[in-house]
Amino acid sequence: MDDIDAIAVLQDPVRRRLYEYVAAQGREVGRNEAAEAAGVTRTLAAHHLDRLTEAGLLDSGSRRLTGRTGPGAGRPAKVYTRARTERSVSLPARDYRTAAELLAEAAEQAGLDVPLREAARRRGESLRGSAAPCGSLDEAKEMLAARGYEPHEEEAEGAPRVVRMRNCPFHDVAERFPPLVCGMNLALLEGLFGADGPVAARMDARPGECCVVVEDSKNKDD
């Protein structure tokens, strides 16, 4: 219940837009940029960004955004990133994280990787229901966003499109039991997107991100 106040800060629609914008960038964001993205004045953006920081939802620091140093480089600007601390409230109280951790401990010892992946793939398929396999990377991004993965596209000139995800919905358990839980996550997404469609998921772990990337399935055999 202690996180109620932090979460309630997002009731304000401007704060919510600012928070979502900063979270989606996955890097330090300055006040001007955030103000523009949220469609508000710099002063108002600064006020709300600082409220979000006080509530513990953003972290702030300062940096010279111009890249210049020395005299004439200007004052360092305040920049914001999404806070790493997890805030959560469940009513009634729920503690599925503890359940998942204890179950993962027992499952890892028993080497249940394969049956877990099978259960995850079936779950992904049943979430998709009777829909056709996911038809495009844009559709995949929407599906991933709806499940909290915070997808973003990696931009590299001339390279095929690759969707990466900033957030792992299973974060703490995945950190403790990476092969087991990341394998489960991949199978869940494979089931969700459907086999033999134009979109394919594969494992490509990077620190601080989800371990899965999504791309056109024809890239898969490159």
Contact residues: a second copy, CB under 8 A: 1, 4-8, 10-11, 16, 23, 57, 82, 86-107, 109-110, 112, 115-116, 118-120, 123, 147-150, 167, 169-173, 181, 184, 188
Determine contact, residues 143/136, Cβ cutoff 8 Å. Answer: no
Ramachandran quadrant class, 161 (left: phi over 0; alpha: psi -120 to 50; beta: rest): beta
Please, what is the minimum distance in Å from the beta carbon of residue 104 to a second copy?
6
Whole-angstrom Cα distance, residue 82 to residue 215?
Answer: 26
Query: How many CA atoms within 13 Å lie on the side-chain side of 210?
Result: 26
What the block records as the tokens of 123 is: 């779950």
Comparison of 91 and 159: residue with beta carbon closer to a second copy: 91
Comparison of 162 and 188: residue with beta carbon closer to a second copy: 188
Return contacts of 6-12, CB within 8 angstroms, 24+ apart: 6/55, 6/56, 6/57, 6/87, 7/87, 7/89, 9/51, 9/52, 9/55, 9/57, 10/57, 12/48
Please, what is the minimum distance in Å from the beta carbon of residue 171 to a second copy?
7
113-161-130 Cα angle (round to 5): 55
- Amino acid identity at 27: R
Comparison of 50 and 105: residue with beta carbon closer to a second copy: 105
Please, what is the minimum distance in Å from the beta carbon of residue 69 to a second copy?
34
Please, what is the minimum distance in Å from the beta carbon of residue 73 to a second copy?
34
Please, what is the minimum distance in Å from the beta carbon of residue 215 to a second copy?
22
Comparison of 122 and 218: residue with beta carbon closer to a second copy: 122
- Amino acid identity at 84: R
Comparison of 113 and 139: residue with beta carbon closer to a second copy: 113
